[in-house]
Structure 1
Amino acid sequence: MKDPVSGPSPAKRWLSAIMVLLLVLVLTIWYVAPPSKPKQEQQARPAPRSTEWAPEPAGPAVPVNLPKTPMTNVPDQKR
C-alpha cells in the first residue's frame, strides 16, 4: 500500500534542484560580471563656447561717483 502523504516524485525533485542551481548560477554570473553601461566616446574637438554668456565689455567702465563723507560710528541705542 502506498503512503498517502508521500513526498514529491523524483522527477519533480530533480526539476526543482536544477531550477535552484540555474538561479544560483545566473545570480553568481550577474554579481561577478554585472552588465556595464556603454562607454561614452570622447569628443574629438572641445565643445564651442556657450552663447548664453555676454562677452566682457572692452570699452571704458561706467563712472561711479561715491560720496566723500567720513564714516561715523553710531552709539548703541538702549531702550
Structure 2
Amino acid sequence: MCNENEELALFLKILGENIRQLRLRAGKDIRTVATETDIPIQDLIEIEAGRSARQNARYLVIFCKYYGVEFPSLFKGW
C-alpha cells in the first residue's frame, strides 16, 4: 500500500510523462514551449520529470490551453 508521498510521486510522474508526450506529439522542443507559454524552461524540465507539484499546479491550465486538451486527459493512467 502506498503512502501519500508515494502516491504524489507516482501522480507527478504520470502527469509529467503525459505532458511530455503532448509536447512530442505536437512536434515541439522544450525551448519552443518555454518561449510560447512564458513558462521558464527549468520549470518545464521539472514538470516533465515529475518532480514539481508546485509548478504542475501553477501551469496546468496553460498546458491545457496550449495543447488544446481537456483537463482530465492529462491524468490518463492515474
Per the normalisation by structure 1, the TM-score is: 0.34
Query: Which one has the bigger helix percentage?
Result: 2
Between structure 1 and structure 2, the one with the greater Rg is 1
Per the normalisation by structure 2, the TM-score is: 0.34
